[in-house]
Amino acid sequence: MHLKRLLIVILFLLSPYSFADFNAKVVNIVDGDTIDVLDGYNQKLRIRLLGIDTPERKQQFGYESYFYLNKILHGKSVVIISSPDKDKPYTLGYFKRVIGKVVLNDVDINLEMIKKGMAWHFIKYKKKQPKYDNNRN
């Protein structure tokens, strides 16, 4: 019985999806607050940047927001930080996108988008944000 429990714990720890933070390569910018990435297992995931909102690409200033995010992220290796939620190792939003913070070279890209005037704070997911992030936005 103890061996079975030990095996379950080992498998859980070795599982690529047992932790919420993961490295990924940005392969597409959808708009100013949504990107597509490939994780370490070549699985494509759509990421919705936590805590920010931007205009859609066809709305006023939407292209500028998209263009800025594309300039800084496309083709780059990033870290995605997302909180585990229910039976998933990360939070999924309404459209089945991973809700997370994107970090490039220790820079919080979500916050960077706000600082550059390309996004605004999106309070819908405020409860999912760490308290530290809420105080910075």
How big is the chain, counted in residues?
137
Residues with a catalytic annotation lie at 48, 56, 97
Are 132 and 51 a contacting pair, CB within 8 Å?
no
Per-residue exposure over 102-130, b if at least 16 CB sit within 10 Å of its own CB, e if not: bbeeeebbbbbbbeeebbebbeebeebbe
- H or E element, residue 108: strand 107-108
- H or E element, residue 4: helix 2-14
- Amino acid in the structure at residue 23: N
